Amino acid sequence: MKINYWLLKSEPETWSWDNQVKEGASMWDGVRNYQARNNLKKMKKNDLCFFYHSVSERSIIGIVKVVKEYYQDPTDKTERFVVVDVKATKKLKKPVSLNEIKENNKLKDIALVKQSRLSVMPIKKTEWDLIIKMSN
Protein backbone atom coordinates (compact mmCIF):
# COMPACT_ATOMS: atom_id res chain seq x y z
CA MET A 1 0.00 0.00 0.00
CA LYS A 2 1.44 3.33 -1.08
CA ILE A 3 1.35 6.09 1.50
CA ASN A 4 1.23 9.71 0.42
CA TYR A 5 2.49 12.61 2.49
CA TRP A 6 0.85 15.96 3.15
CA LEU A 7 1.03 19.08 5.24
CA LEU A 8 -2.02 20.56 6.98
CA LYS A 9 -1.89 24.10 8.33
CA SER A 10 -3.85 25.38 11.27
CA GLU A 11 -3.71 28.56 13.30
CA PRO A 12 -2.96 27.35 16.84
CA GLU A 13 -5.45 29.91 18.22
CA THR A 14 -8.19 28.23 16.15
CA TRP A 15 -7.20 24.54 16.24
CA SER A 16 -3.92 23.53 17.88
CA TRP A 17 -1.94 20.32 18.12
CA ASP A 18 -3.20 19.99 21.72
CA ASN A 19 -6.81 20.27 20.50
CA GLN A 20 -6.10 17.54 17.94
CA VAL A 21 -4.54 15.22 20.53
CA LYS A 22 -7.42 15.77 22.96
CA GLU A 23 -10.06 15.21 20.27
CA GLY A 24 -8.54 12.00 18.89
CA ALA A 25 -9.98 11.51 15.39
CA SER A 26 -11.65 14.63 14.06
CA MET A 27 -12.64 16.20 10.77
CA TRP A 28 -10.28 18.66 9.10
CA ASP A 29 -12.82 21.30 8.12
CA GLY A 30 -12.98 24.91 7.04
CA VAL A 31 -10.90 24.59 3.87
CA ARG A 32 -12.21 27.18 1.39
CA ASN A 33 -9.58 27.09 -1.33
CA TYR A 34 -10.09 24.93 -4.44
CA GLN A 35 -6.49 23.74 -4.70
CA ALA A 36 -6.49 22.76 -1.01
CA ARG A 37 -9.87 21.03 -1.50
CA ASN A 38 -8.50 19.06 -4.45
CA ASN A 39 -5.58 17.95 -2.26
CA LEU A 40 -8.04 16.76 0.42
CA LYS A 41 -9.84 14.74 -2.28
CA LYS A 42 -6.55 12.99 -3.17
CA MET A 43 -5.88 11.86 0.41
CA LYS A 44 -6.23 8.17 1.14
CA LYS A 45 -6.77 6.34 4.40
CA ASN A 46 -3.44 5.92 6.28
CA ASP A 47 -1.73 8.81 4.44
CA LEU A 48 0.43 10.84 6.83
CA CYS A 49 0.28 14.59 7.30
CA PHE A 50 2.50 17.05 9.06
CA PHE A 51 0.51 19.24 11.45
CA TYR A 52 1.73 22.80 10.96
CA HIS A 53 1.02 25.69 13.33
CA SER A 54 0.72 28.73 11.05
CA VAL A 55 0.68 32.49 11.71
CA SER A 56 2.10 32.90 15.23
CA GLU A 57 4.38 29.84 15.43
CA ARG A 58 5.15 28.79 11.84
CA SER A 59 6.40 25.32 12.78
CA ILE A 60 5.65 21.70 12.04
CA ILE A 61 4.57 20.31 15.40
CA GLY A 62 3.43 16.73 14.83
CA ILE A 63 2.04 14.03 12.56
CA VAL A 64 -1.58 13.08 11.93
CA LYS A 65 -2.91 10.13 9.97
CA VAL A 66 -5.88 10.18 7.61
CA VAL A 67 -8.48 7.86 9.15
CA LYS A 68 -11.41 8.66 6.83
CA GLU A 69 -11.30 9.77 3.20
CA TYR A 70 -13.04 12.90 1.97
CA TYR A 71 -16.72 13.66 2.39
CA GLN A 72 -18.91 16.78 2.28
CA ASP A 73 -17.84 19.54 4.71
CA PRO A 74 -20.85 19.99 7.02
CA THR A 75 -19.74 23.58 7.76
CA ASP A 76 -19.93 24.57 4.07
CA LYS A 77 -23.37 25.81 2.98
CA THR A 78 -22.28 25.95 -0.70
CA GLU A 79 -21.51 22.19 -0.69
CA ARG A 80 -18.36 22.81 -2.72
CA PHE A 81 -15.85 21.80 -0.08
CA VAL A 82 -14.86 18.59 1.65
CA VAL A 83 -13.21 17.32 4.83
CA VAL A 84 -11.12 14.31 5.80
CA ASP A 85 -10.85 12.82 9.28
CA VAL A 86 -7.41 12.79 10.85
CA LYS A 87 -5.99 11.46 14.11
CA ALA A 88 -2.85 12.61 15.93
CA THR A 89 -0.17 9.92 15.86
CA LYS A 90 3.04 11.55 17.06
CA LYS A 91 4.39 14.85 18.33
CA LEU A 92 7.77 15.69 16.82
CA LYS A 93 10.72 15.60 19.25
CA LYS A 94 11.45 19.16 18.23
CA PRO A 95 9.28 21.42 16.09
CA VAL A 96 10.71 22.29 12.67
CA SER A 97 10.30 26.00 11.94
CA LEU A 98 9.55 27.62 8.60
CA ASN A 99 12.92 29.41 8.87
CA GLU A 100 14.76 26.08 9.25
CA ILE A 101 12.91 24.75 6.21
CA LYS A 102 13.76 27.86 4.16
CA GLU A 103 17.43 27.61 5.20
CA ASN A 104 17.69 24.01 3.93
CA ASN A 105 18.57 24.07 0.23
CA LYS A 106 17.08 20.58 -0.27
CA LEU A 107 13.67 21.99 0.72
CA LYS A 108 13.74 25.08 -1.52
CA ASP A 109 10.97 23.68 -3.78
CA ILE A 110 8.65 22.53 -0.98
CA ALA A 111 5.07 23.82 -1.34
CA LEU A 112 5.29 25.43 2.11
CA VAL A 113 7.85 27.87 0.67
CA LYS A 114 6.55 28.07 -2.93
CA GLN A 115 2.83 28.40 -2.08
CA SER A 116 2.89 29.79 1.42
CA ARG A 117 -0.86 30.59 1.53
CA LEU A 118 -2.00 27.04 0.68
CA SER A 119 -3.45 25.24 3.73
CA VAL A 120 -3.34 21.63 2.44
CA MET A 121 -0.35 20.59 0.36
CA PRO A 122 1.45 17.48 -0.85
CA ILE A 123 4.91 16.67 0.52
CA LYS A 124 7.39 14.50 -1.37
CA LYS A 125 8.76 11.42 0.43
CA THR A 126 12.31 12.88 0.29
CA GLU A 127 11.06 16.15 1.87
CA TRP A 128 9.13 14.19 4.52
CA ASP A 129 12.19 12.13 5.46
CA LEU A 130 14.41 15.21 5.66
CA ILE A 131 11.96 17.10 7.90
CA ILE A 132 11.66 14.04 10.17
CA LYS A 133 15.46 14.00 10.41
CA MET A 134 15.51 17.72 11.23
CA SER A 135 13.01 17.14 14.04
CA ASN A 136 15.18 14.60 15.89
For residue 48, the domain's CATH number is 3.10.590.10
Kindly give the parts of the chain with pLDDT less than 70. none
Name the residue range of residue 92's domain: 5-134
Total structural domains in the chain? 1
CB neighbours of 2 closer than 8 A, spacing ≥ 6?
A: none
d(CA 38, CA 70): 10
Quote the pTM value.
Answer: 0.96
Q: What is the pLDDT of residues 28-37, one digit of tens each?
A: 999 999 999 9
